[in-house]
Chains A and B, each alone.
Chain A
Amino acid sequence: MTSVSTEIPSRASEAVPAVQTMELTRTFDDLVAVDHLSFVTASGSIFGLLGPNGAGKSTLIKMLTTLLHPTAGTALVAGFDIVRQPREVRKRIGYVSQMLSADGDLTGYENLLISAKLYGIPRHERSQRIGQALEFMELTHAADRVVRHYSGGMIRRLEIAQSMLHRPALLFLDEPTVGLDPVAKLAVWHRIQALRGEFDTTIFMTTHDMDEADELCDVVAFMHSGRLLAQGPPAELKARLGHEATLGDVFIHYAGSAIVEEGEWTNVARARRTARRLE
């Protein structure tokens, strides 16, 4: 990964940030979910967004993936404006939501086939790309099984396969390992690392799992009440609190130990449902 910088395009891409928000804001009635946020995510990194429930992480991801309009401000994602050029953004990103995006009533292959068609992957490349994605995510053996019969870890890997078929420059993963057992979780971690290694994909992920953030992320940012309180490499943030500090300590330091009583009922219901389906 440490080659001479100027001649290789993917290296040069580090000059263009993967995500750059400018005073990005979203309110729901009188609740400010994302509050004049301005930050930059470098290309090629695995960026982890941490924070308590109701901190605004999902709202932020929904805006960056063009699913939700900002109330004010904007952001450049993969170099394009989310408000003015949403289709250009969509061509260049992948997104795996907290919920289930694989269709349980289709086979793994069919799910990938539909995605390939939606992203305009030409016919002659389709089967090769799908085969490659299945292999990369270690799902070749299950390609023709209906997804309803997959395990939670397999569904997550299929969803990631789905979102990378068109080789996005930037992949958004919203709590990619929620509800997975430790073995399945580890497999997903390895695939995320391999994605960055092989395709140079920038990963923008949220997580509640401090081990996950520590293990995977080059840079983490703590979000609370719609604002970013700190951003940096995990080691650096831990060092600020003393040399025995864990990322969990950093989390508590910034989020406070009080339980945040936010997050709508519907969100909670959905998160639980997703977790149950993945078991």
Chain B
Amino acid sequence: MSHAHGALPAAWSEGAGRFAFLRQTAAVAEADIRKLIHDPVELLTRMVQPVLWLAIFGEVFSRARAIPTGGLRYLDFMTPGVLAQSVLFGAIFYGISLIWERDLGIVHKFLVSPTPRAALVLGRAVSSMARSLCQMILVFLLASLLGVHLRFGVASLAGVAAAVMLGSAIFSTFSLIAACIVKSRERFMGIGQVLTMPLFFASNAIYPLSMMPGWLRSISIVNPLTYQVDALRCLMIQAGASMFGLPVDFAAQLLAFAVLVAIATRLYPKIIT
């Protein structure tokens, strides 16, 4: 059996060890992060929306005192919502890069490599996580300027980072699934526009669940964004509290992520057909 074709190429004899899956996932993420380093303009444009929401909407509504926030200043109440929203908006259009790379032919290169499909999906989620950390830093800077009472303890910062990364992983994978289904840039842009606002409004990002009519509350309860905001409100804001408790918040998000990764892994190879 020592023929050249049956034998593995030299690279595989030692390279494909136990951590091959993790290394391949990291390589997929690395490709994307390196691109971001070459051209960080995209990160800068993402700064605009949180500024508008916090500095304008937040300032005005803080004066109105129209929303029951459980004793929190409205700006403090909505800051975690704005962070979650900026992560959502950044992640939800992430799938378009897959369509773009499919049109060019880059996706084919990944699919003919021995990289497991799950690693291709997870790698993209990881790069989206890295982007979300930039947004976290931005919102923290902005919120401190506006006098929001933030927590700066190591544990709470780590918790915020975890919640933000998980949220970004969820919505970027969701976006990947949408891309694999609609397959064209035009249709994808339409779908993205249609999805973002309902996801945002059917959540506790800028008003509490208690204010919602029953039907909206039932939708919010199955919206992963609600759990992300709930966790962030507790971890980020000094007098903030979680409604569901942090274990429920993180379990709900992990469950959503696992389901989405499983679906995306099945659909991913279909992007090229």
Contacts and interface: CB of A to CB of B under 8 A. Distances in A.
B35 interface: yes
Given A10-B4, A93-B112, A121 B11 contact: yes
B5 A79 contact: yes
Interface stretch (A12-20, A189-197, A220-228): A12-20
Contact of B112 (A13, A90, A200, A274): A90
B2 A166 contact: no
Contacts of B112: 65-67, 90, 93-95
Contact of B114 (A99, A119, A169, A274): A119
Given A9-B7, A68-B273, A106-B35, 9 more contacts: A12-B2, A16-B6, A90-B113, A91-B9, A97-B108, A99-B104, A101-B106, A117-B27, A120-B12
Given A92-B9, A120-B15, A9 B2 contact: yes
B14 to A, nearest CB: 5
Interface residues of A, number: 54
B31 A169 contact: no
Interface string B235-262: 0000000000000000000000000000
A100 interface: yes
Contacts of B20: 120
Contact of B11 (A12, A18, A67, A119): A119
Given A67-B269, A93-B112, A105 B26 contact: no
A120 B28 CA distance: 12
Contact of B38 (A16, A67, A106): A106
Contacts of A121: 11, 15
Given A118-B24, A119-B15, A92 B273 contact: no
Chain A CB count within 10 A is highest, among B24, B114, B273, for B114
A115 interface: yes
Interface string B26-60: 11101100110011000000000000000000000
B111 A105 contact: no
Interface of A: 9-10, 12-13, 15-16, 18, 43, 65-68, 78-79, 87, 90-95, 97-106, 110, 114-115, 117-122, 125, 129, 146, 162, 165-170, 200, 270, 273-274
17 contacts: A66-B111, A90-B114, A92-B9, A99-B103, A99-B105, A101-B105, A102-B106, A103-B106, A105-B38, A118-B114, A118-B115, A119-B11, A120-B20, A122-B11, A125-B11, A165-B11, A166-B12
B24 A13 contact: no
Nearest to A8: B4
B4 A117 contact: no
Which secondary structure dominates where chain B touches chain A?
A: helix
Contacts of B211: none
Given A65-B112, A106-B35, A120-B114, A79 B6 contact: yes
B63 interface: no
Contact of A106 (B5, B11, B34, B273): B34
B8 interface: yes
B105 A97 contact: yes
A94 to B, nearest CB: 8
Contact of A117 (B2, B30, B273): B30
A47 B155 CA distance: 61
B5 A18 contact: yes
A125 B10 CA distance: 10
Contacts of B108: 67, 95, 97, 99, 101
Contacts of B181: none
A103 to B, nearest CB: 6
A16 B106 contact: no
Contacts of A103: 31, 35, 101, 106
B11 A114 contact: no
B65 interface: no
Contacts of B103: 99, 270, 273
Contacts of A115: 109, 113
B8 A92 contact: yes
Contact of B109 (A18, A91, A98, A162): A162
B27 A105 contact: no
Nearest to A96: B109
A116 B227 CA distance: 39
